[in-house]
């Protein structure tokens, strides 16, 4: 039964193909549309990818900023920047002193 309905419906569709009638002066409408289309400018072609790139760059900057802020929040806050800086500068020297002991 299912096969018969399937075949019958497809036969119905085959028997009634869609018409080729066209709205009046449709070709003129197409040509008018083509003539009305502005020619693509070099600036227009260049600006679109540039904007896309700019948006991507801003997004990456924001993500990097958030990541940097997040990673700093997880580390111990420095009490004194000058002490940290000094420790970092003299780190090799301290290492040498420790090795000589």
Partner 1 sequence: MDRTDAELISAARKGDPASFEPLVAKYQGRVFATARRYARRESEVEDIVQEVFIKAWQKLDGFRGEAPFEHWLMRLAVRTCYDFLRGHQRNRETAFAELAESETNWLERFAAGPGSASEDADAARQLVAKVLSRLSPPARLVITMLEIEEKTVKEIAALTGWSATLVKVRAFRARAEMRKILSQMTRDKYL
Binding site for partner 1 (CB under 8 A): 1-2, 4-6, 8-23, 26-31, 33-35
Residue 10 or 68: the one with the smaller Cβ distance to partner 1 is 10
Taking the complex as a whole, the smallest distance from the CB of residue 12 to partner 1 amounts, in Å, to: 4
Locate tokens 């801003």: which residue? 58
Q: Are 78 and 84 in contact (CB under 8 A)?
A: yes
Q: Are 85 and 78 in contact (CB under 8 A)?
A: no
| Residue 91: Cβ-neighbour burial (10 angstroms; 0-12, 13-18, 19+) | exposed
Residue 20 or 98: the one with the smaller Cβ distance to partner 1 is 20
Contacts of residue 30, Cβ cutoff 8 Å, sequence gap at least 6:
none
Taking the complex as a whole, the smallest distance from the CB of residue 46 to partner 1 amounts, in Å, to: 19
Residue 6 or 67: the one with the smaller Cβ distance to partner 1 is 6
Taking the complex as a whole, the smallest distance from the CB of residue 41 to partner 1 amounts, in Å, to: 15
């Amino acid at each position: 039964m299912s096969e018969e309905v399937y075949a019958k419906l497809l036969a119905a569709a085959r028997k009634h193909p869609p018409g080729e009638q066209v709205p009046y002066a449709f070709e003129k409408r197409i040509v008018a549309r083509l003539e009305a289309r502005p020619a693509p400018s070099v600036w227009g072609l260049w600006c679109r990818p540039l904007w896309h790139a700019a948006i991507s760059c801003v997004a990456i900057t924001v993500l990097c900023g958030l990541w940097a802020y997040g990673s700093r929040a997880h580390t111990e806050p420095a009490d004194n920047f000058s002490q940290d800086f000094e420790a970092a500068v003299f780190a090799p020297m301290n290492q040498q002193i420790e090795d000589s002991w």
